[in-house]
Structures are given as structure tokens and as C-alpha cells.
Amino acid sequence: MKVINSKPVSAFGGLNFVIQEAVNLKVNALLNTSLPALPKQSQYNWFDIIMSYWSVFFCGGDCAEDLSINLKEGLQNNPFINIPSPDRILNRLKSLSESPQFFTAKRGKTEHHFSLALELNRLNIKMLSLLPGFQKENVILDYDNTLIFTEKADAQRTYKKEPGYYPGVGIIGEHIVYVENRNGNSTAHVLQHKTIERMTSLLQEAGVTIDVIRADSASYSYEIIKAMEESAERIFIRARMTDTLERAITSIKEWNEIKLGDSILLRGSTVFTPFERHARGNNTKTDSLKEYRLVVTKEARRDGQINMFTGEAYNYSAIMTNDFEMTDDEVVFFYNARGAKEREFDILKNDFGWDKMPFPKLEQNTVFLLIMAMCRNLYAHIIETFSKRVAFLSENFRIKKFIFRFICIPGKWIKSGRQTKLKLYGNNSFRT
């Protein structure tokens, strides 16, 4: 086999279309004007720094060092961005970190280590506002926390008995709208009402109106639900089993049979007033408590064990809501649609590096989480837009398939007719 040397050709010709789309959306102008001013002698602007880092993941890498080890030759002489060194990128991102906050809950002496990053969250929402697919009116906001296991020096032990972080994330559709990092020993319900207040405040500041907030059972507490109701018209919360809830279940007299595969479920609903014990214990007036609707689905236990409160051998799943218009089935189907948001955590961890944080400190890694959440948001727009232009793309592609199908197209920039043009190699048709 004979090898003929030739001028280098980039293996990632399709990346240029991604960068150009970001420029067309004016992401470059937003980053350069919103982030802190760089020294006048700096050779790189914020768009160079952040887009270069995003390019690593758009080309299949997983760390900044890939820029100098695996991607350097392919990204040289790019007309859209200047490529900094990995150290320069990481140092600039570190400089965006804000001092962490330390809180103590009303009960307990544990010190909770939070990283809020409000300015970067505000920037993320501004960037989302540039995307045509981002809706602002009557949105459905999903909130959840996800465990990120890590051996960082400041990482605390999670309830899974491994060190890590436990960030809270707000999601609208496929867009990450808020990320607030917390150390692993701070479980999801701790001070969550303050997190909800900060998140909804930033969204309202950007002109986003919230119709629904959905959350899991970690949000089933008086303070959290009150915080949600201040910003949203409707709430849908997975209810935790308590004596009040069990009494409410026993009050349901009419159960409808539901067939789910080979299983037979029973579903019913009632109206109840939760948190009465909380009101008495905190000297809260009981007339400030509200009635909510409780939709319960129960399934017979295989072991036949009787619940001592309900007197039945069933497993129960309950959803609490202030919506009294939907049918019971509609409430369950609508809440269960929230399960699709778990896929977003899988995408963030496996496609956009959340499982491989580069920095040693919580607040610095919060910057990374948010920068990569912005990259995820940009990709959601890219794949939706490009799939309409290119026949061999689909809007449900994960980034790995997008890289194989679109990014990995050999190409190089050439001078022709006093213009700089991108020359691609392959039998591909594009509409630009």
C-alpha cells in the first residue's frame, strides 16, 4: 500500500455548519456582551472559548484536552473561531464561578453547600430566547434533581453512599432552563422551595409564563408546594405516603378498573387537605391550608401483605394536583409524561460530559454544568433545524449518530474567486 502525502483535510467538515448556525442565531454576540470583559490583549473572545469547548463534544470528544490532542489539526484555520489552548479555556471558565453559598435548614445542623450561578443561569435563558423553538407562554416546567457521582475533593457522600453532587434542574420541553448545584449530602427536598423561587424568578424576569410545574415526591412538602403555586397556575406532584394520605385513600369509594398489559389496576380520586400536622407544628393557621385533588392508582400486592391503615393488600401511587378539570386518567397520563425528562439527564451525562466534570470544586463544576447545558440546548435546535434541511438526519438523533452522519464529513477551507469557501468531500447534498 502506497501512502501519498497531501495537504491536511479536516475530518469534521460538518462542524462548520454548526458554528455558522450559532453565529446566525447571534450566540456569539450574546456571549461576548454578557460575560465579563476580557483583557484587551486577549487573542480570544468568549465565543472562541466556549464554542471551541462545545466543538469538542460536537466532534465526539469528552474533555478540553482533545482540542490539542485529537482535534487540533481539524479545527485549524477555521474562519468562524480562533481555537485557544485547553488550559486557556479551562482557566477562563473557572473565572466565571461565583462563591458558593452555605445554608442551614430549619431542622438539623447540617451545613448545605449550594452553588447558585445566577448570572450564568440568566445567560442560559437569554440564549434560549434566541432559539426559535423555545416557547415562553404557558409553559410546562419540570423540576428534578440528579445524582452525579464524582471523586472531587469537596464532594460529600450522597444517600447512595458514594461521593458526588446533586444538582437541581429545571426543564421546559427539551430545553434546560435552570441548573443549581448542591453537594451530595443535601438531598432533593432540602431548601428546595428556595431553589424553586430562584428558578421561577429568573424565568419570569425573562418573560416566561408558567402554566404547570411537575415534580416528584421530593417536592411533596408545604413550603415547596406554596413556592410552586406562587409562580404556576397548576401543579402536579407525586404524593408521599403519610397517615393523612392513607386516610384520604380509604375515603375513595369508587374505583375504576384499568387494564395495563397483563395487569389490572384500580384508579380513583378524592379531595383532601394535606399538611395539617405541619400547620399545627409550625403555628400556621389551618385556614391557610387548601384542598387538593388526589388521584390514586392501586395494584394488588403479589405477597398479599395488608396495609394496616387502608386494610387492603395493594401498592399505591398517588398524584396531588390543584387541577379539578382533567379526568383521573388524564391526570395520570399528563404526570407520567414527566418521565421523558429522565432521558434528558441521560443525554447530559453521556452526550455532554456531565459525568466527567473537569474542575476540583463544586462552584467551578457548576460553570461546566451550565456551559454544557447551553450546548445541549443549542444541539436541540441544531438537530431539529438541520433534519429539515438534510434527508439523512432525524430530529430524534442522539449526538453520536449526528456526529457519524453529519459532522464527520471531510472538508477544508479554500480560496476561490476572492472568497473563502468550504470544500466538502463526499456524495452529500446540502441546502444552506
Q: What is the CATH number of the domain that holds 189?
A: 3.90.350.10
- Residue 354's SS3 state is coil
Residue 279 contacts residue 288 (beta carbons within 8 Å): yes
Is 210 found in the same domain as 326?
yes
| Residue-wise burial string across 249-286, b where 16 or more C-beta atoms lie within 10 A, e elsewhere | beebeeeeeeeeeeeebbbbbbebebbeeebeeeeeee
Is 120 found in the same domain as 76?
no
The whole-number pLDDT of residue 7 equals 66
Q: How much of the chain is in helix, strand and coil states, percent to nearest 5? A: 40, 20, 40
Is 48 found in the same domain as 191?
no
Q: Give residue 377's identity as a one-letter amino acid code.
A: N
Is 147 found in the same domain as 83?
no
The helix or strand, by DSSP H or E, that contains position 316, with its residue range, turns out to be strand 314-321
Q: Give residue 262's identity as a one-letter amino acid code.
A: D
Query: Domain residues for 122?
Result: 101-350
Would you write out the chain's pLDDT as a tens digit for each of its 432 residues?
Answer: 766 666 677 778 888 899 999 999 999 999 999 999 999 888 999 999 999 999 999 998 888 998 888 787 777 777 888 889 999 999 999 999 999 888 887 777 778 899 999 999 999 999 999 999 899 999 999 999 999 999 998 999 999 999 999 999 999 999 999 999 999 999 999 999 999 999 999 999 999 999 999 999 999 999 999 999 999 999 999 998 888 888 888 888 899 998 887 788 999 999 998 887 766 656 555 556 789 999 999 888 888 788 777 778 888 899 999 999 999 999 999 999 988 888 899 999 999 999 999 999 999 999 999 999 999 999 999 999 999 988 888 999 999 999 999 888 877 777 776 777 777 776 666 554
Q: pTM for the complete prediction?
A: 0.91
Whether residue 66 lies inside any domain: the answer is yes
Whether residue 224 lies inside any domain: the answer is yes
Whether residue 364 lies inside any domain: the answer is no
Whether residue 358 lies inside any domain: the answer is no
Residue 251 contacts residue 270 (beta carbons within 8 Å): yes
CA–CA dist 404, 423 (Å, integer): 18
The whole-number pLDDT of residue 427 equals 67
Residue 323 contacts residue 331 (beta carbons within 8 Å): yes
Whether residue 359 lies inside any domain: the answer is no
- Name the CA radius of gyration of the chain, rounded: 25
Is 289 found in the same domain as 250?
yes
Q: Identify the burial level of 357 via C-beta atoms within 10 angstroms of its C-beta, where 0-12 means exposed, 13-18 middle and 19 or more buried.
A: buried
